[in-house]
Chains A and B, each alone.
Chain A
Amino acid sequence: METIILANGDIPMSRAITVLHICISFFLSFITESLCAQIKEVVVYSSVDDVFARPIAESFEKETGIKVKLVPDTEETKSTGLLNRLIAEKNRPQADVFWSGDPIRAAILNDKGIAAPYTSSEAKDLPKLFSHAEGYWTGFSARARVILYNKKLIPKDKAPDSVMDLLDPGYKGKACIANPLFGTTSMHAAALFEVLGEQKGKEFFEGLAKNNAKMVSSNGEVRRRVASGDCALGVTDTDDAYQAIREGKPVEIVYPDQEGMGTLIVPNAVVLIKGAPHPEQAKKLIDYLLSSKVEKMLAESEAAQMPVRSGVKAPAHVKSLESLKPMKVNYSQLANRLEALSQGFLREWAGRNRS
Chain B
Amino acid sequence: MGRKEQVLISPMVLEQKSGWRIIGMSLILLLALLPSLALVVSVSGSSSQAILLDTFWQALSRSLLLALIVTLVSLLLGLPTGVLIGLYEFPGRRIFLALLALPLLIPSFLWAIGLLMFRLYFELGSDGLFAGLSGASMGFISLSLPLVIYTSFLSVRTLSQGQVDSALLCGSQYFLFKQTLKLSLPYASLIAVFGGVLTLSDPGPGQILGYAGIATELLVSFSALYDFSLAARQSLILIGVILFLLIPVVMKVSQSPILGLLGRDFKPAQAIINPTASWSLPLIVSLILLFTVLIPLTGLTQPLLREFPFKRAVQEVLRTINDTLLYSFFAGVIATVIGLFLSMLAGRDNAARRLLLAASLFLLSIPPAVSALGMILLGSYAPVWMEHLLRGRFAVALLLGLRFLPIATILSLRKIGTSSPTWAQAASLHGLSLWKYLKIILLPWFFPSGVLIGFAVALLATADITTIVLLRPPDADSFPLAIFTIMANAPEALVAALCLFYIGGAALAIAAITWIGSNYGKFSA
List B residues 189-245 near A (Cβ within 8 Å). Answer: 203-204, 207-208, 210-212, 216-217, 219-220, 222-226, 228
Q: Flag if A9 contacts B522 (CB, 8 Å).
A: yes
Q: Flag if B465 contacts A79 (CB, 8 Å).
A: yes
Q: Which one of A12, A73, A217 lies within 8 Å of B207 (CB-CB)? A: A217
In whole angstroms, what is the CA distance A157 to B182 when docked? 67
Q: Which one of A12, A30, A80 lies within 8 Å of B392 (CB-CB)? A: A30
Give every chain B residue within 8 A of A10 (Cβ-Cβ): 444-445, 447-448, 522
Q: Which one of A4, A31, A33, A350 lies within 8 Å of B441 (CB-CB)? A: A4
Q: How far apart are A95's CB and chain B's nearest CB, in angstroms?
A: 8
Q: How far apart are B41's CB and chain A's nearest CB, in angstroms?
A: 13
Contact count band on B: 35 or more
Q: For the complex, is A200 an interface residue (Cβ under 8 Å from B)?
A: no
Q: For the complex, is A84 an interface residue (Cβ under 8 Å from B)?
A: yes
The chain B residue sitting closest to A346, CB to CB, is B224
Known: A75-B488, A88-B376, A228-B121. A342 touches B388 (CB 8 A): no
The chain B residue sitting closest to A54, CB to CB, is B486
Q: Flag if B485 contacts A9 (CB, 8 Å).
A: no
Q: Flag if B376 contacts A51 (CB, 8 Å).
A: no
Q: Flag if B329 contacts A26 (CB, 8 Å).
A: yes
Known: A88-B373, A89-B376. A6 touches B489 (CB 8 A): no
Chain B interface, >50% SS class: helix
List B residues 117-136 near A (Cβ within 8 Å). Answer: 117, 120-121, 123, 126, 132
Q: How far apart are A335's CB and chain B's nearest CB, in angstroms?
A: 11
Known: A73-B469, A77-B208, A224-B116. A83 touches B226 (CB 8 A): yes
Q: Which one of A30, A216, A343 lies within 8 Å of B49 (CB-CB)? A: A343
Q: Flag if B474 contacts A11 (CB, 8 Å).
A: no
Q: For the complex, is B391 an interface residue (Cβ under 8 Å from A)?
A: yes
Q: For the complex, is A240 an interface residue (Cβ under 8 Å from B)?
A: yes
Q: How far apart are A268's CB and chain B's nearest CB, in angstroms?
A: 14
Give every chain A residue within 8 A of B441 (Cβ-Cβ): 4, 6
The chain A residue sitting closest to B107, CB to CB, is A77
Q: Flag if B447 contacts A246 (CB, 8 Å).
A: no
Q: For the complex, is A34 an interface residue (Cβ under 8 Å from B)?
A: yes
**A1-34 interface code vs B (CB 8 A; 1 in, 0 out):** 0111011111111011001000100110111011
Give every chain B residue within 8 A of A70 (Cβ-Cβ): 474-475
Q: Flag if A182 contacts B388 (CB, 8 Å).
A: no
Q: Which one of A6, A50, A84, A92 lies within 8 Å of B380 (CB-CB)? A: A92
Q: Which one of A52, A219, A225 lies within 8 Å of B120 (CB-CB)? A: A225
Give every chain A residue within 8 A of B165 (Cβ-Cβ): none
List A residues 172-191 near B (Cβ within 8 Å). Answer: 179, 181-182, 186
Q: For the complex, is A229 an interface residue (Cβ under 8 Å from B)?
A: yes
Q: Flag if A78 contacts B207 (CB, 8 Å).
A: yes
Q: Flag if B440 contacts A2 (CB, 8 Å).
A: yes
Known: A228-B123, A343-B49. A69 touches B484 (CB 8 A): no
Q: Flag if A80 contacts B470 (CB, 8 Å).
A: yes
Q: Flag if B265 contacts A8 (CB, 8 Å).
A: yes
Q: Which one of A88, A214, A246 lies within 8 Å of B377 (CB-CB)? A: A88
Q: Flag if B444 contacts A16 (CB, 8 Å).
A: yes
The chain A residue sitting closest to B202, CB to CB, is A77
Give every chain B residue within 8 A of A77 (Cβ-Cβ): 109, 203-204, 207-208, 465, 484
Q: For the complex, is A198 an interface residue (Cβ under 8 Å from B)?
A: no
Known: A91-B380, A91-B381. A80 touches B474 (CB 8 A): no
Give every chain A residue within 8 A of B117 (Cβ-Cβ): 224
Give every chain A residue within 8 A of B7 (Cβ-Cβ): none
14 examples of A-B residue contacts, CB within 8 angstroms = A34-B388, A49-B485, A78-B207, A78-B223, A79-B470, A80-B373, A81-B223, A87-B228, A92-B380, A216-B210, A220-B487, A342-B224, A351-B54, A352-B55
Nearest 7 CB-CB pairings of A with B: A69-B474, A355-B210, A351-B55, A228-B120, A181-B224, A354-B212, A88-B376
Instruction: Give the A-binding residues of B (Cβ under 8 A).
Output: 49, 52, 54-55, 58-59, 109, 116-117, 120-121, 123, 126, 132, 203-204, 207-208, 210-212, 216-217, 219-220, 222-226, 228, 265-267, 303, 326, 329-330, 333, 369, 372-373, 376-377, 379-381, 387-388, 391-394, 397, 439-441, 443-445, 447-448, 465-466, 469-470, 472-475, 477, 482, 484-492, 520-522
Q: A15-B447, A26-B326, A73-B485 are in contact. List 4 more A-B contacts (CB 8 A).
A: A4-B441, A51-B490, A89-B380, A224-B117
